[in-house]
C-alpha cells in the first residue's frame, strides 16, 4: 500500500517540488492580490497570467469533511477523512485530515499542514492544531 503524488502539470510542478521538501505553496496574483487554488494559467480573480507561488502559513480550518469507509484503491487505509480546508483564511483545497480520530473532525476545526512522505514526494495533509506538538515530517504515516 503506497500512495504517490500525481503527475504534475506545468502549472503544478513547482507546487509538488516544494511539497516534497515539506513546503506548502499557493498561487498568488500580484495583480489583484488574491491567493487561489488549484493553479490556473489565468488568475480567476482578474484574468491575468502574472501570478507566482508564495509560501502558505500552512494553517487553516475545516469547512467540509466526510469519513470515507470504502476506498477505491488499496493504497488507502480506511476509514480516512477527506476534507475541504480553508487555508490562510483565504483559499481552499481538498486534502486529508490525519493524526486524529475521524470522529474528532468537525467544521471549523483548526488544522495545520502535515506532510505525508510518499512515492514521488510528499502529500500536504492536515492535522488538528491541538496535535501540532508532534514532528511535522513523520514518515510512513497514512491517513
Partner 1 sequence: MALRDVAIVGLHATEQARRLPHRTALDLAQEAVFGAIADAGLRPADVDGVAADWPGPGGTVDESASWSRSLGRSLNWVGEGMLDTAGARGVMKAAAAIAAGLCDVAVVGGGLSGRFGGRGPVGVAVAEVEFVDVWGAYSIPLFALVAQGYIRRFGTTPEQLATVAATIRNNGSSNPEAMMYGKGPYTVDDILASPLVATPFHLLDVCITGEGGGAVVLTSLERARDLPHQPVAVLGAGMEFAGNHGMPPLDYRTVGRLGAAAAQRAFGAAGVTARDADVLALYDPNSFELLRQLEVIGLCGEGEGGAFVDDGHIALDGRYPTNPEGGCLSYSWNGTQHMTLKVAEAVRQIRGTAVHQVPGAEVAVVANAGSGTRHYEVVVLGKA
Q: Which residues of 5-25 are buried (b: 16+ CB within 10 A; e: fewer)?
A: beebeeebeebbebbbebbbb
State the minimum distance, in angstroms, from the CB of residue 97 to partner 1. 10
One-character DSSP codes across 62-120: EEEEEEE---SSTTS-SSEEEEEEEETTTEEEEEEE-SS-GGG--TT-EEEEEEEEEBT
Nearest in space to 109 (alpha carbons), one of 65, 74, 143: 65
- Asked if 1 touches partner 1 (CB under 8 A), the answer is no
Residue 132 near partner 1 by CB under 8 A:
no
Q: Does 84 bind partner 1 (CB under 8 A)?
A: yes
Query: Which grid coordinates belong to 33?
Result: 492580490
Question: Considering the rule CB under 8 A, would residue 45 count as an interface residue with partner 1?
Answer: no
**At closest approach, how far in Å is the CB of 30 from partner 1?**
23
Q: Does 20 bind partner 1 (CB under 8 A)?
A: no
Number of residues that bind partner 1 (CB under 8 A): 36
The single residue among 18, 26, 27, 95 that binds partner 1, judged by CB under 8 A, is 95
Q: Which listed residue (12, 24, 29, 53) binds partner 1 by CB under 8 A?
A: 12
Residues at the interface with partner 1 (CB under 8 A): 3-9, 12, 37-38, 63-73, 75-76, 80, 82-85, 92-96, 107, 123, 143
Amino acid at each position: 500500500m503506497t500512495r504517490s503524488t500525481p503527475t504534475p502539470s506545468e502549472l503544478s510542478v513547482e507546487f509538488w517540488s516544494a511539497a516534497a521538501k515539506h513546503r506548502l505553496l499557493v498561487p498568488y496574483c500580484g495583480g489583484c492580490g488574491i491567493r487561489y487554488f488549484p493553479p490556473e494559467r489565468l488568475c480567476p480573480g482578474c484574468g491575468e497570467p502574472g501570478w507566482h507561488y508564495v509560501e502558505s502559513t500552512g494553517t487553516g480550518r475545516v469547512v467540509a469533511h466526510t469519513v470515507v469507509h470504502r476506498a477505491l484503491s488499496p493504497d488507502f487505509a480506511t476509514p480516512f477523512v477527506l476534507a475541504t480546508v480553508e487555508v490562510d483564511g483565504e483559499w481552499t483545497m481538498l486534502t486529508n485530515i490525519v493524526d486524529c480520530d475521524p470522529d474528532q473532525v468537525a467544521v471549523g476545526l483548526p488544522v495545520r499542514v502535515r506532510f505525508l512522505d510518499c512515492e514521488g514526494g510528499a502529500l500536504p495533509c492536515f492535522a488538528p492544531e491541538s496535535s501540532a506538538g508532534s514532528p511535522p515530517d513523520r514518515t510512513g504515516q497514512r491517513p
